[in-house]
Amino acid sequence: MEIGFLGLGIMGKAMSINLLRHGFKVTVWNRTLSKCDELVEHGASVGETPAAVVKKCKYTIAMLSDPAAALAVVFDKDGVLEQINGKGYIDMSTVDAETSIKISEAIKAKGGDFLEAPVSGSKKPAEDGQLVILAAGDKAFYDEALPAFDVLGKKSFFLGEVGNGAKMKLVVNMVMGSMMNAFSEGLTLAERSGLNPSTLLDVLDLGAISNGMFKLKGPTMLKNSYAPAFPLKHQQKDM
């Protein structure tokens, strides 16, 4: 089966590579086409436009930065809508429910199938195929897409009607952002109080609020290493 993939940022690149490694044929597109070069080295084909990708593939996945990008890829000239009749479209971008519903209605009006499927997880889970997929929309299309979801994630949830996936993702990101804000303040407070922040990590890890995010982020934060896995501008958008 050939899958299209639109958007090769931090997440999209890792997800596309995982699909290729597991035997899927993948045709990719990115607004900056040079970002496709690395995927070609892994065996991908390149589509010149979103419409060209959709025309070639049974269904197409999008992983884009924000609602404006998600809408542009669908509605602009040479966009998804021009070739979606009889095809499927899965938007895995983090957008608001209203944006997702607008895209869904337009695609269904043109004879296409639609799923929203935002994900919980950032760069490392995307690379490892350990995302949590929050899908909503056409149930039959969801069932058809499960082989790809099983490669991309450790668990997929079907949440019913379009909009529910977007809402769930934004709730998750609100919780995550609030936790990271408190965690950052706690590390700073410990240091300014003359305590060893590394010891704070050990204490937290043994208590009721031990969690994978603190384990992953804490050591790099103590080293002042902030290579983006999830850029702050996207977290601000979601909050």
Q: Which amino acid is at 41?
A: E
Nearest CA to 90 among 133, 47, 60? 60
Phi-psi region of 211 (alpha: psi -120 to 50; beta: other; left: phi over 0): beta
Strand partners, 91: 62, 116
Nearest CA to 139 among 165, 154, 167, 160? 160
For residue 72, give the H/E element and its range.
helix 67-75
Q: Which amino acid is at 6?
A: L
Could you count the other beta carbons within 10 Å of the beta carbon of residue 48?
A: 10
Establish whether 35 is a catalytic residue. Answer: no
> d(Cα 83, Cα 203) in Å, to the nearest integer?
55
Please name the residues in contact with 204: beta carbons below 8 A apart, sequence gap of 6 or more. Answer: 210, 214, 218
| CB contact at 8 A, 118 and 99 | no
Catalytic residue among 139, 169, 215, 223: 169
Q: Nearest-5° angle of CA 18, CA 23, CA 82?
A: 80
Backbone phi, then psi, for 159, in 5-degree steps? -110, 10
Residues belonging to the active site: 169
